[in-house]
Structure 1
Amino acid sequence: MSFFLRCLFATWLLTLGLGASAQGAGKSVVTTERVRAELMAYAPQGVQPGQPLLVGLQLAHQPEWHTYWKNSGDSGLPTQIQFTLPPGVTAGDIQWPVPKKIPIGTLANYGYEGTVLLPVPLTVSPDFKPSPLADSLEVKAHAAWLVCRQECIPEEGDFTLRIPVRGSTALNGAAFEAAANAQPRELPKVPGGAIPPSVARVAGDALDIQVQGLPVQARGKQLQFFPETPEVIESAGAWTQEWKGAVWHAHVPLSAQRSGSPTVMPVVLAEGAQGWRAELAVSGTWPQVSAAATVSPALQDALRSNTGAPAAPPIGLVAALLGALLGGLVLNLMPCVFPVLAIKVVGFATHSEDARAHRISGLAYTAGVVIAFLALGGLMLALRAAGEQLGWGFQLQSPLVVAGLAALFTLIALNFAGVFEFGSMLPSSVASMEARHPVANAFLSGVLAVAIASPCTAPFMGASLGLAVTLPAFQALLVFACLGAGMALPYLAASALPAIARVLPRPGAWMDIFRKLMAFPMFATVAWLVWVLGQQSGIDGAGALLALLVALSLLVWTLTLNGRARLLLSAAAVAALAAVAWTAGPLLTQPPAAATTQAEGDWQPWSTAKADQLVGAGQPVFVDFTAAWCVTCQYNKKTTLSNADVLGDFRRANVALLRADWTRRDPAITAALASLGRSGVPVYVLYRKGSAPQVLTEVLSVAEVRSAIARP
């Protein structure tokens, strides 16, 4: 079993950093229940240096659904497109059409409904050399968009498009022409190249704006105002406008939680579908703002107590290190770690008469746990620095990682059950490595413990991890190292005490029975992982994973045979496994149909807009930040959040129940967790208007929740 862990360790590292898999790989169209996304091209003169070449993402929304502009307003996220292009071709910025204001409750967002095309210019240099065989330009793009109605759902897709180098690609010319007409026009320039003076003056908690140079047809009309810089103005605030001759004036309130103080503010003014862009030079002194990070204006009010204290006071580094150490220690008692206990108990039984082997095994296991936590934490910090919205436990947000762990635990269970032994399947020189390297075996068992246990958040861990992602890299890694040391501490202490070894029975036939018994916790872990993947990719994804595990088990069994039967049946099993993997791959990574939009009894799907609307209206809101792969979350859900007394208290207090499902990667949930000083689940929060959010403990009790509800 331990040698097998060494073989698959590299595979686990390769799959660890994968995010939620994109839909529609290798296609130019991705269709969901809410949006049809298509990557389109316009090359009227072919792909030549100096000639116009445009690609664009067209989003066709279902009725009542919308996506967002470059500044999404009070909530939401702008659509993002990342291109992979051959040498000699570069992509410009999205040429954003004029948006519309989309009011949602007390909020105001900027975005698009219906069908919108987001063009991106490509620049072809003389260095571009098309493939002689294809004679085309291959454009690959990964796009991510947040689509909202009352609830918000993050979606993404991978697109591939081939544009012929010679000849015209003008089929979509009308769509690109309409998109060009929908883009805001720069205000006309006066002789000498200067833009007519358009300014914004800071006047207390508002901006006094004047814009000159607007076209004659716009004068005297009521214009829409869209700042390109986010989180500066109060998007839904009451603002006024008037014309003084040819100059347009406006008085716009500033956001109380402004995130910046720009010296230049690009803005778009629009009248109907026409828009004009101006860059406002900002003068005056910006007012001071609170340093508290928030998600949106309505929640900002909830995140401030009546005295103005921040919702989650930051803890110091020493407290974070102590919290990480205690949290890692308590992590051993969390349901996440139970499957790993079987492996450790088998290892303790193996060394029951060798105190020295006990100590070495404990030290190696500790090193494996600490290094794995450092690697996982370092990877998360690096990806966050690169712009990814990730939190603790991000690896199990990938269906491919879940499937890989299910395969790993299936093979461990088969090995424990005696279906196969590495000594009978591998050359003796290779199989003997397990006996020659017990330190490596213990080290990798520590790595495996982190792989399966890290997605959960134990008490004391939440605040420490939330602080870690904001610290410099070295200090953040110290927090992760303390977390690993705390988790390994019980095994390190047990291995250092000879009395522990003397308590265990002498080696004998009982060890074989015990080892086979420990196969069943492994199979239970596989069942849980299949259920997790079913939450991520639907019933078809879970069925595909089961088919893969059956084919994998068949292959393992054939390798235990002898003679010609082994050769023939193993070849057939390899072919069967390859065929199943080819068929199952797309099913494993597909999103479940409408899974994120379904209500569960009293619980409704969480979204920033829905939480804002309810809190702004004065209704208390309880949010369950959860994930299918978080065993502690599921335990709390079954034992506390489904309790009849708790649900009755929620109803009597008119508390709205929202569930934020983080099973697959969701930037909006990641941002909401960050605003609470957390980076992992479970997190339970009770919001009341005008009060600080009440964050409950990771392991809930009925008494704690009922007490929180009763608190005024």
Structure 2
Amino acid sequence: MIYRLPSFRPLAAAAWVLALALLTLVTAQNSFAQIQLLGNSQTAGSAVVTTPRVRAELVAHAPDGVTPGQPLWLGLRITHQPEWHTYWKNAGDSGLPTQLQWQLPAGLEAGEIDWPLPEAIRVGPLVNYGYEGELLLPVPFKVAADFKAPAGDTLTVRLHASWLVCRVECIPEEGDFTLQLPVRSASAMHAPAFAAAQAGRPAALQGQSTAKVEGERLQLRIAGLPAALQGQNLRLFPETPEVLEHAAVWTQAWDGAVWTADWPLSAMRGETPNELPFVLAPATAPTSGPLAWRTVAAVEGRWSSAPVAGVSPALAAALAANAQQVPPAPPASGASGFWMALLGGLVGGLILNLMPCVFPVLAIKIVGFARHGQDRRALRIGGLAYGAGVLLSFLALGGLLLALRAAGQQLGWGFQLQSPGLVAAMAVLFTLLGLNLAGMFEFGRMLPQRWASAQVRHPVGEAFLSGVLAVAIASPCTAPFMGASLGLAIDMPAAQALTVFAALGVGMALPYVLASFLPALVRWLPRPGAWMETFRHAMAFPMFATVAWLVWVLGQQSGIDGAGALLVLLVALSALVWALTLGGRTRWLLGAGLLLATLWLGSAVGPHITRAVAAESAATAGASATEWQPWSAERVSSLTAAGTPVFVDFTAAWCVTCQVNKHTTLNRDDVRADFAARGVALLRADWTRRDPAITQALTALGRSGVPVYVLYAPGRPPHVMTELLSPAEVHGALQAL
């Protein structure tokens, strides 16, 4: 029986396609650049900013034009997507209020935001104050008496606004707005929205109000409320942050016409103020009259401020003693570190050949020896060319990484997988390789004849490009085995670092080069036959498994919508490839239709692939405030050098998930006791405001936002935990110390 053996040249053809795919990817990345930055969409000089979570617009209400003594209002109108919210002037247990920064022409003066009545929004054990649905934040403006209209009778008003929008995760957003405001004609298009905001504005309460401090509680007495409210339950909103425990159980009652409330004080309270403003509203909105009332209560008595965490004298003394007694660790670029990294690179490269994404390439190349086992010279030249492709590709990747870091980029190995677009491109490439190995199509039949014949005319170039392709598909697999060695190499001098990358390439290319030079290895292979076709088909499944993993990776970067969009496009691409294998007119008609459908799907769902989303899972944090110390990179290094394990909570006040984790996990008595029993130092990196040092540390950990929880143990790599943390995960990590 004569077997029609499969061609083992498609890997080189795929390498040619890879270069074109990467060029297309670069173009696509540039197209999506504006979408990737928080998902903002805005035209220069526009009054509207749109993100995947809100639509914000700068609007005006000037029924008499811009005239001294006449009303002039501007406002930021925010339309939230379902389940998303922004915050009131006092955000509650977590969050940040919306901030407006104006750039005004001469003669205009902006007042404060006339905050509408908020809603209490519960998130786990926390209570926040904010807004959902449609919201207008109106701002009154004064027009100077000597105001003069500019030429053209149009004012240009500019606004920079920043807001925090949350669901479970929180995303800081901002936008620049420009509004052309006519001076002599009326601007009343948004009159209903401003009227509704005016109706929802809390009315000033004329009666006397007091807030009396009684130990750890605050007792309120508010007089002057309308008689129609007497006997009703009211909602209370404190305007001053960190005074009351918002989620605590509190009581209210009526003492005749005076409304009273007893509310626990916050553990985060500061100094006692002289006055406290409050907003009160009935549980059910009244059909007429004001929706809410505002009062300022005089504070009677003083409370004790919450303790502020600091470095204890004992800890400071211990750190100083350790700094003098413990010699500094040898630099990673020392001789021992270099040789360890070199050995790790060589061994890691060898192990790479067993990875599901690399083994099919190597196996098919070696199985190809069964067809050409007698041409020893061709095998050796091909082996050397393949090895050169692998080696030069790793050197190119290493050089690119070192160059980017030298230019100031905070990158580590695996940076090529931090781009959702490149992850999607790799998934496309692996899908094509899997379909090819499964026998759906041959590259030689689908590529232009000139390209296909080039494989036969230039076998050395084919082998070299196969090595390039092998490195491209191997790069996702390097992290589990090469993290330590490449981490050392990145901080070495360039020559030593490139030597480590070269060792990685040598290790990966070594099995194939040896097989091409040792005839005994080729003799082990069975004679050519049907088994080769079966083997080739079997190698498609590791490729498809790698596609599944890449889709999962993309899901972590771009969310479930991004992963779903990629799956849809991969199905469409597979259908297109199948259509191109048909014959006659069917190939062109069906292929053209599927090509148009694939392009349409790419434009419709493609942006979901490159759109970054906030992490929706969380990690650990917790213990009493006095157990936590401020974070610094130097402190982490000092403590771990002294043999002390360190747990770092990268957090922010506006991060809802961070606060939930504190309540549900890190503040639990059993978790705190486990930390104490194992002598773990607790550090907190507060990212509420931008901090370049914390940003750099997050980047070093491969993260771009909070929460992030890391356990540093002496002599071990950092243990980054999940973002939605459970006590069991913390206990498990601590048991491994």
TM-score (norm 1): 0.51
- 2: CA distance between counterparts of 1:318 and 1:622? 29
1:579 CA displacement: 0.4
1:154-194 Cα shifts (integer Å, max 9, x gaps) = 9789x898999x999xx9xxxxxxxxxxxxxxxxxxxxxxx
Aligned equivalents of 2:165, 2:319: Cα separation in 1: 22
Equivalents in 1 of 2:354, 2:51: separation in Å? 36
Pick one of 705, 717, 722 that aligns with 1:695. 717
2:333/2:492 contact within 8 Å kept:
no
Shift of 1:374: 1.8
Q: Secondary structure, in 3 states, of the residue corresponding to 2:435?
A: helix
Whether 1:530 aligns to 2:551 is yes
State the distance in 2 between where 1:565 and 1:367 align. Answer: 43
Q: Cα distance 1:676–1:527, how it changes in 2: closer, same or farther (>3 A)?
A: closer
Which runs of 5 or more structure 2 residues have no equivalent in the other structure? 1-9, 44-48, 60-77, 79-84, 98-129, 132-157, 188-314, 651-672, 686-690, 703-707, 721-729
1:514 Cα offset (Å): 0.8
Q: Quick one: which of 31, 39, 42 aligns to 1:24?
A: 39
CA contact (8 A) 1:359 1:495 kept: yes
Deviation track 1:18-42 (CA, whole Å, cap 9, x = no partner) reads 6994343642536477x999999xx
**SS at 1:432's partner residue?**
helix
Q: 1:339 to 1:539 in 2, by over 3 A?
A: same
Which residue, out of 384, 393, 400, partners 1:372?
A: 393
Q: Structure 1: 5+ residue runs without aligned partners? A: 41-57, 68-112, 115-138, 172-296, 626-647, 661-665, 678-682, 699-704
Q: Within 5 Å, give how 1:423-572 maps onto structure 2.
A: 423-456=444-477, 461-572=482-593
Question: Taking structure 1 as reference, are residues 466 and 575 closer, same or farther at Cα in structure 2, changes over 3 Å only?
Answer: same
* CA displacement at 1:651 relative to structure 2: 11
Give the Å deviation of 1:329.
2.5
Once residues 330 and 173 of structure 2 are traced to their aligned partners in structure 1, the CA distance between those partners, rounded to angstroms, is: 32
> 2:712 is matched by which residue type in structure 1?
Y
- Matched residue type, 1:695: P
Q: Percent identity?
A: 51
Aligned counterpart, 1:5: 15
Q: Distance in 1 between matches of 2:517 and 2:163?
A: 53
- Is the contact between residue 402 and residue 529 of structure 1 (CA under 8 Å) also seen in structure 2? yes
User: Do the aligned partners of residues 395 and 11 (structure 1) sit closer, same or farther apart at CA in structure 2, a change above 3 Å counting?
Assistant: same
| Higher Rg | 2
Which protein has greater RCO, CA pairs closer than 8 Å, 6+ apart?
A: 1
Contact map agreement 1:368 1:446 (CA 8 A) in 2: yes
Map Cα deviations across residues 329-353 of structure 1 (whole Å, 9 max, x no partner): 2244259832211111011111231
Q: 1:13 to 1:572 in 2, by over 3 A?
A: closer
Cα drift, residue 371 of structure 1: 1.6
Query: Cα offset for 1:550?
Result: 1.0
2:667 aligned partner: none
Q: How many residues align?
A: 450
State the match for 1:337 in structure 2. Answer: 355
Please list the CA deviations of residues 125-156 of structure 1 after superposition, one character each: whole Å capped at 9, or x if unmatched: xxxxxxxxxxxxxx9x9x9x99999x998978
User: What does residue range 265-276 of structure 1 map to in structure 2 within 5 Å?
Assistant: none
1:598 partner amino acid: S
CA pair 330-385 structure 1, distance change in 2 beyond 3 A: closer
* CA distance in 2 between partners of 1:387 and 1:37 (Å): 34
What is the deviation of 1:523? 0.9
User: Within 2, Cα distance between the matches of 1:657 and 1:449?
Assistant: 44
Q: CA deviation at 1:381?
A: 2.3
| SS class of match (1:391) | coil
SS across alignment from 1:598: coil
With normalisation by structure 2, the TM-score equals 0.49
Which of 541, 554, 576 lines up with 2:597 in the alignment? 576
Query: Relative to structure 1, is the Cα distance of residues 558 and 455 closer, same or farther in structure 2, using a 3 angstrom cutoff?
Result: closer
- Separation (CA, whole Å) in 1 of partners of 2:335 and 2:717: 21
Compared with structure 1, are the counterparts of its residues 375 and 65 closer, same or farther at alpha carbon in structure 2 (3 Å cutoff)? farther
Any idea what the Cα deviations from partners look like across 1:459-510, whole Å, max 9, x if unmatched?
Answer: 8844543343344444433332233223322332333222111111122221
Deviations 1:544-581 (CA, angstroms, capped at 9, x unpaired): 10110111111111111111111111110111011000
Letter in 1 for 2:579: T
Distance (Å, rounded) in 2 between the aligned partners of 1:445 and 1:514: 19
CA shift, 1:687, in A, is 3.4
**Alpha-carbon distance in structure 1 between the residues aligned to 2:481 and 2:510:** 16
Q: Tell me if 1:598 matches 2:623.
A: no
Provide the rounded CA distance (Å) in 2 between the counterparts of 1:314 and 1:348: 38
* Aligned partner (choices 332, 352, 355) of residue 376 of structure 2: 355
Q: Residues 622, 578 of structure 1: CA spacing in aligned structure 2 closer, same or farther, 3 A cutoff?
A: same
AA of the residue aligned to 1:27 = Q
CA distance in 2: counterparts of 1:490 and 1:497, whole angstroms:
10
Task: Tell me which of 401, 408, 413 is aligned to 2:434.
Answer: 413
One-letter amino acid matched to 1:360: I
Q: For residue 14 of structure 2, what is the amino acid of its counterpart?
A: F
Match of 1:274 in 2: none
- State the match for 1:127 in structure 2: none
